[in-house]
Chain A
């Protein structure tokens, strides 16, 4: 064991047992996995990604490039950040991690927050700023990646100040202290994203802060020398942290290698911890470590020290710990994300913020004040040459296993920019994002090219600052909460009656209602038959509905729709078609004239929001003179369609006092009525071609209305039907579905709906019908298809050709838009868009399949009741 008898911020009364690579070990509450491993003399944690070199613990924090572990479903965590708990089961990575095949059962969620001041980093500078802001009455959020507030202070010193300051902040009601939480992205208007680690998952905080104070500290960087990756080589500050904070001796015989003053404190700590300091190698004194030696397990057993200049003799010193400090890099990641500019400070040998931004302030070490880290005087120094010209063991990026040799190859290939070198070598692209490698990359490029470090610069810092899991981003948007599931008021009945559902946009719509073991095909056949021969009932609540009021309502509708509404009297409806300015079909629906200056337009289920947006866009930007108001009432109304030859009998049974004969209530009539004390609006509309009614009621009564219809229709065998039967029925009648027969490139004329395009008035899209392209004779027309074999079902989307062969290239003339088995027709049929289709009625087209050819005869696109006798009966 390498645990000191006393000291550290551990709870020694709470021993904690865990396993590492299957071996049972123990530590104390307050340990990280890294400190506990060191306490148990585990030096080799894993192997590197490409060279498979043994690797150990290099740092004591978030910057760790080496000690990567898998813990449960988390494939790649830093041992320096994992807090040990009883039963923790960790595995050291052999460079790569493996994703678990099991779903992540962790609980992730999201929390929005607002504050006047957000302080990132709870070291001395951050806590000082937080206290000042909080005393001014601001809402303050302090976020820190460690399990405890204090930052570097946790590694020694300032105990009383820390305790007092944290005590004060904790007592303030408008101060929120977030630990184990890493601010990983800073976006426009100070939106800061924070990943909080929680015992059972994590939380994504989205904080909007008026002012951000970045007290993110600084990362110590290593010096680069041959074989600098061995377990036992550690950042000097990390050695101090293990000794002071965790009461662990990471070695027994130490060497210090530095170019600045900060290691003096380490020497004192080593002495207190009874670790022998074998040598201090200071480049300022003209010496450097030029190589290291390894013991059998690959961990450090000694160093080779040589003078920097001249041919002085190299000497070897045995040691198992090497504390390295090459200086400090202010942690400017978030500052740079906020578009803050950096400058190279030659005196400090690092990049520092040029100036704070108007609402993003940088304080403490992050601002370049490295006094707290004791850097003192520094001799800028980056790379120790080896004894020969071999650079293949000088590691720049430990996680990516990239060496100086790789950088030299990049430069040899002509790269000059650090961005190119980064991409060529992968420096800085590991999960640690090169926190200990990035600046060194630039410096090495600079030394190799003989340019100043400041001129070479650093690569762009981009979010996220730390790896963020998909689970965290998804939060609770998973399973049934992944996306809203929209339900109608009649939904409980559908569920109780075993409906199968289809997703239509966000809506769940009954697809079909199977009975006694029926498959889908049998159920749809039965449902279609009921509508054609008896009566069916369907939930049509999902249709989009827009209330339109105002004296210019008629003018408005006439400008939007391809057809005119001038002759539409109050109490009647009319089908309408909408085009965009390009003349292509956009949506369709029925417009009801409800009263003086009062209309209601229905839209397709999926198009409701887009149509309202379209209407509003014209009203608000182009036609501001029109006195019209549109209001969405989609959810206000539930709708029940009653369709079939017996529909009138059912509706009459519900409304015995209302004459429903064709003379009194003709096709496309609308009127208000009452049923059992609740309001019902009656429409005579059809989407099946049969005699049909749509009954609307405020959705509170939707279920009651539906159940009333079912009850009234029972003697007539009323049959609930779903969207699949609806699709078959409307296709038999040649009614289009926008989005199925159209795809944004189809004109009304292509669909054979020239009859609905007004010649007299102006409307959106009209001018496009004068374009050469929209009047091309070889456009694709909507036609019907009868497969020659009446049992053969054409796949929807199948391409069509005039050539009867399957070997490409084959010239295509169109494709199938809808295809069904029809019980009414006793065969399969389809709708298709076919080049010059209307001229090809009676001809044969072919759908090449991988293994065969389906032949089909082109027909008119109406298969049922062309004369509309059933509709108008």
Chain B
């Protein structure tokens, strides 16, 4: 049972400001929080093909072994975080299901499954100005020559550690930020957007 009335996302107070910004940008920029996503940190030996195959069998994707890539199946994705680490992201309230699937895929092989759903919230930045907005605080190259849908990166956005995942050529990016840094980053984005749009 999910206590919807009691659940509060780190940026729930920012919905209006994000909305007003999106409106002011006349379609070139939209920012919104994507709250409550299921996020499970998964550690497994990348050369343990048995585990990888089991994850594929259970969830329909193989945890990526190529750096900075994302495996996707329907509305679930798996973000490469390190040689033996990935982040499985799914719609809200699938924690038990995903954890069980990953646990069962691991069996008695070495690895770890940790629910980190509330550890980070997700900010979607989309629209034609989004690259320029992110370029105000992110030193990595977000040009289509370097990144596109299905790719991700870990970096700093302003002074907050983030995972950036491109989801569409529009372009559209998901920015994963730790909950305690979320309001700082939201304030920073709103401030930066004032010059980017």
Q: Is B130 an interface residue (CB 8 A)?
A: no
Binds B, one of A485-493, A684-692, A825-833: A485-493
Q: Which residue of A lies closest to B43 (CB)?
A: A629
Q: Is A161 an interface residue (CB 8 A)?
A: no
Within 8 A of A (CB), among B165-197: 178-181, 183-185, 187-188, 191-192, 195
* CB proximity of A733 to chain B, nearest CB, Å: 28
* CB proximity of A176 to chain B, nearest CB, Å: 11
Within 8 A of B (CB), among A672-705: 676-678, 698-704
19 A–B pairs (Cβ distance < 8 Å), ordered by A? A109-B136, A109-B195, A110-B136, A111-B132, A111-B136, A480-B187, A481-B184, A483-B159, A484-B185, A550-B110, A550-B112, A627-B110, A631-B112, A678-B2, A698-B115, A698-B117, A700-B35, A701-B6, A704-B3
Q: Which residue of A lies closest to B117 (CB)?
A: A698
Seen from chain B, the residues whose Cβ lies within 8 Å of a Cβ on chain A are 1-3, 6-10, 13, 35-36, 41, 43, 110-120, 132, 135-141, 143, 145-146, 158-160, 178-181, 183-185, 187-188, 191-192, 195
- A 457-497 to B, binary, CB cutoff 8 A, 1 in contact else 0: 00000000000000000001100110111111100100000
Whether A631 contacts B41 in the complex (CB less than 8 A), given A476-B191, A636-B116, comes out as yes
The reply to whether B143 and A139 contact each other, CB–CB distance below 8 Å, is yes
The reply to whether A481 and B3 contact each other, CB–CB distance below 8 Å, is no
The reply to whether B36 and A700 contact each other, CB–CB distance below 8 Å, is yes
User: Within the assembled complex, what's the spacing in Å between the Cα atoms of A635 and B121?
Assistant: 10
Number of chain A residues whose Cβ lies closer than 8 Å to a Cβ of chain B = 47
5 pairs of A and B residues whose beta carbons are closest in the complex: A677-B3, A704-B6, A629-B112, A698-B118, A486-B180
* CB proximity of B90 to chain A, nearest CB, Å: 16
The reply to whether B159 and A484 contact each other, CB–CB distance below 8 Å, is yes
* CB proximity of B189 to chain A, nearest CB, Å: 11
B residues in contact with A208, CB < 8 Å:
139, 141
Choose from A113, A484, A677, A700 the contact partner of B1 (Cβ within 8 Å): A677
Seen from chain A, the residues whose Cβ lies within 8 Å of a Cβ on chain B are 107, 109-114, 139, 206, 208, 476-477, 480-481, 483-489, 492, 507, 542, 547, 549-551, 627, 629, 631-637, 676-678, 698-704
* CB proximity of B193 to chain A, nearest CB, Å: 11
Whether A114 contacts B6 in the complex (CB less than 8 A), given A481-B187, A486-B180, comes out as no
Q: Which residue of A lies closest to B3 (CB)?
A: A677
B residues in contact with A483, CB < 8 Å:
159
* CB proximity of B133 to chain A, nearest CB, Å: 10
* CB proximity of B144 to chain A, nearest CB, Å: 11
Whether A704 contacts B179 in the complex (CB less than 8 A), given A110-B137, A484-B184, A549-B112, comes out as no
Whether A631 contacts B116 in the complex (CB less than 8 A), given A114-B146, A701-B3, A701-B7, comes out as yes
User: Within the assembled complex, what's the spacing in Å between the Cα atoms of A631 and B111?
Assistant: 11
* CB proximity of B185 to chain A, nearest CB, Å: 8
Choose from B10, B117, B139 the contact partner of A489 (Cβ within 8 Å): B10
A residues in contact with B114, CB < 8 Å:
547, 549, 631, 633
The reply to whether B7 and A629 contact each other, CB–CB distance below 8 Å, is no
User: Within the assembled complex, what's the spacing in Å between the Cα atoms of A629 and B7?
Assistant: 29
| Count of A-B contacts judged by CB separation below 8 Å | 131
The reply to whether A635 and B7 contact each other, CB–CB distance below 8 Å, is no
The reply to whether B187 and A633 contact each other, CB–CB distance below 8 Å, is no
* CB proximity of A184 to chain B, nearest CB, Å: 18
User: Within the assembled complex, what's the spacing in Å between the Cα atoms of A113 and B131?
Assistant: 10
B residues in contact with A633, CB < 8 Å:
114, 116, 119
Whether A678 contacts B3 in the complex (CB less than 8 A), given A481-B187, A550-B112, A699-B179, comes out as yes
B residues in contact with A551, CB < 8 Å:
110
User: Within the assembled complex, what's the spacing in Å between the Cα atoms of A476 and B116?
Assistant: 31
User: Within the assembled complex, what's the spacing in Å between the Cα atoms of A492 and B36?
Assistant: 19
User: Within the assembled complex, what's the spacing in Å between the Cα atoms of A436 and B109?
Assistant: 70
User: Within the assembled complex, what's the spacing in Å between the Cα atoms of A589 and B88?
Assistant: 29
Choose from A481, A632, A701 the contact partner of B158 (Cβ within 8 Å): A481
* CB proximity of A221 to chain B, nearest CB, Å: 38
User: Within the assembled complex, what's the spacing in Å between the Cα atoms of A862 and B13?
Assistant: 45
The reply to whether A481 and B145 contact each other, CB–CB distance below 8 Å, is no
The reply to whether A112 and B43 contact each other, CB–CB distance below 8 Å, is no
The reply to whether A635 and B120 contact each other, CB–CB distance below 8 Å, is yes
Choose from A627, A636, A703 the contact partner of B8 (Cβ within 8 Å): A703
The reply to whether A629 and B118 contact each other, CB–CB distance below 8 Å, is no
User: Within the assembled complex, what's the spacing in Å between the Cα atoms of A485 and B36?
Assistant: 22
User: Within the assembled complex, what's the spacing in Å between the Cα atoms of A677 and B7?
Assistant: 10
Q: Could you say which of B119, B138, B158 has the most chain A C-beta atoms within 10 Å of its C-beta? A: B119
The reply to whether B146 and A486 contact each other, CB–CB distance below 8 Å, is no
B residues in contact with A484, CB < 8 Å:
158-160, 181, 184-185
The reply to whether B141 and A704 contact each other, CB–CB distance below 8 Å, is no
User: Within the assembled complex, what's the spacing in Å between the Cα atoms of A698 and B117?
Assistant: 8
* CB proximity of B36 to chain A, nearest CB, Å: 7
**Contacts A206-B139, A676-B3 supplied; 20 other A-B pairs, CB < 8 Å:** A110-B136, A111-B132, A111-B136, A112-B135, A114-B146, A139-B143, A477-B158, A481-B188, A483-B159, A484-B158, A484-B184, A486-B180, A547-B112, A549-B111, A633-B114, A678-B3, A678-B6, A699-B118, A699-B179, A704-B6
Q: Which residue of B lies closest to A630 (CB)?
A: B112
* CB proximity of A265 to chain B, nearest CB, Å: 43
Choose from B7, B36, B146, B191 the contact partner of A481 (Cβ within 8 Å): B191
User: Within the assembled complex, what's the spacing in Å between the Cα atoms of A359 and B7?
Assistant: 54
User: Within the assembled complex, what's the spacing in Å between the Cα atoms of A633 and B120?
Assistant: 10
B residues in contact with A635, CB < 8 Å:
118-120, 178-181
B residues in contact with A698, CB < 8 Å:
115, 117-118
A residues in contact with B138, CB < 8 Å:
112
* CB proximity of A231 to chain B, nearest CB, Å: 40
The reply to whether A486 and B143 contact each other, CB–CB distance below 8 Å, is no
Q: Which residue of A lies closest to B109 (CB)?
A: A627
Q: Could you say which of A111, A551, A700, A702 has the most chain B C-beta atoms within 10 Å of its C-beta? A: A700
User: Within the assembled complex, what's the spacing in Å between the Cα atoms of A243 and B140?
Assistant: 46
User: Within the assembled complex, what's the spacing in Å between the Cα atoms of A642 and B179?
Assistant: 23
B residues in contact with A702, CB < 8 Å:
8
User: Within the assembled complex, what's the spacing in Å between the Cα atoms of A703 and B159?
Assistant: 26
Q: Which residue of B lies closest to A708 (CB)?
A: B6
* CB proximity of A225 to chain B, nearest CB, Å: 49
User: Within the assembled complex, what's the spacing in Å between the Cα atoms of A476 and B157?
Assistant: 13
A residues in contact with B6, CB < 8 Å:
676-678, 701, 704
* CB proximity of B6 to chain A, nearest CB, Å: 4
Q: Which residue of A lies closest to B4 (CB)?
A: A677
The reply to whether A492 and B139 contact each other, CB–CB distance below 8 Å, is no
B residues in contact with A507, CB < 8 Å:
180
User: Within the assembled complex, what's the spacing in Å between the Cα atoms of A636 and B94?
Assistant: 16
* CB proximity of B148 to chain A, nearest CB, Å: 15
Q: Which residue of A lies closest to B132 (CB)?
A: A111
Q: Which residue of A lies closest to B110 (CB)?
A: A627
Q: Which residue of B lies closest to A549 (CB)?
A: B112
A residues in contact with B119, CB < 8 Å:
632-636
B residues in contact with A476, CB < 8 Å:
136, 188, 191-192
A residues in contact with B136, CB < 8 Å:
109-112, 476
User: Within the assembled complex, what's the spacing in Å between the Cα atoms of A758 and B117?
Assistant: 37
A residues in contact with B8, CB < 8 Å:
489, 700-704
